[in-house]
Amino acid sequence: MSRTEPTRFVRPFLKWAGNKYRVLKHILPELPAGECLVEPFAGSCAVFLNTDFPRYLINDVNPDLIQLYRQLQKEGEPFIRYAQRLFTPRNNCEERYYQLRDRFNTTTNRREKAALFIYLNRHCYNGLCRYNRSHRFNVPFGRYKRPYFPGKEMRIFHAKAKRAEFVCRDFREIMEMAPAGGIIYADPPYIPLNETAHFTRYSSEEFNLEGQKDLAEHASRAARRGVPVLISNHDTPFARQIYREAELLHFQVQRSISCNGKRRNEVAELLALYRAAD
Contact predicate 49/160, CB 8 Å? yes
pLDDT-derived band at 185, boundaries 50, 70, 90: very high
Q: What is the sign of the dihedral through the CA atoms of 150, 254, 22 and 235?
A: negative
Residue 145's CB is within 10 A of a number of other CB atoms, namely 5
Confidence of residue 5 (pLDDT cuts 50, 70, 90): very low
Contact 231, 195 (CB under 8 A): no
E-state strands within the chain? 36-39, 55-59, 164-167, 182-186, 229-234, 247-254, 266-274
Please report the pLDDT score of residue 258 as a whole number: 46
pLDDT reading at 200 higher than 50: no
Coil/strand/helix, residue 136: coil
CA dihedral 255, 186, 270, 18 (to 10 degrees): 0
Bigger pLDDT: 207 or 26? 26
d(CA 119, CA 85): 10
Taking residues 78-83, report their average pLDDT: 98
pLDDT beyond 70 at 161: yes
What share of the chain in percent tops pLDDT 90? Answer: 83
Task: Note the pLDDT tens digit of each residue in 21-76.
Answer: 999 999 999 999 999 999 999 999 999 999 999 999 999 999 999 999 999 999 99
Mean pLDDT over 207-216 rounds to: 93
Q: What is the DSSP letter of 139?
A: P
For the stretch 101-123, what's the b/e string if a residue is b when 16 or more beta carbons lie within 10 angstroms of its beta carbon?
beebbeeeeebbbbbbbbbbbbb
The residues, ordered by sequence, that sit 6+ positions from 86 with a Cβ below 8 Å of its Cβ are 100, 115, 116, 118, 119
Q: Residue 95 pLDDT > 90, yes or no?
A: yes
Residues carrying CATH 3.40.50.150, the chain: 20-61+169-274
* CATH 3.40.640.10 describes domain 67-152: no
Q: Which of 12-16, 121-125, 188-192, 202-206 has the lowest mean pLDDT?
A: 202-206
Strands (E), 55-169: 55-59, 164-167
Residues of the chain with pLDDT > 70: what percent? 90
Render 207-249 in DSSP notation, one character per residue.
--HHHHHHHHHHHHHHHHTT--EEEEEE--HHHHHHTTTSEEE
| Confidence (pTM) | 0.91
Most confident of 148-157, 245-254, 262-271: 148-157
Highest averaged pLDDT of the listed ranges 146-155, 187-196, 245-254: 146-155
Confirm or reject CATH 3.30.70.270 for domain 20-61+169-274, answering yes or no.
Answer: no
Mean pLDDT of the chain: 91
Element (H, E) at 71: helix 63-75
In the prediction, which pLDDT does 193 show?
85
Q: Among candidates 153, 154, 101, 111, which has minimal Cα distance to 132?
A: 101
Name which residue leads in pLDDT, 250 or 3: 250
- Report the candidate in 37, 56, 166, 171 with the shortest Cα–Cα distance to residue 114: 166
Domain with CATH 1.10.1020.10 in the chain: 67-152
Q: Which helix (H) or strand (E) holds 102?
A: helix 94-106
Confidence of residue 2 (pLDDT cuts 50, 70, 90): very low
* Between 158 and 253, residue with greater pLDDT: 158
pLDDT score for 202: 52
Find residue 120's DSSP bridge partners.
none
Q: What is the pLDDT of residue 207?
A: 82
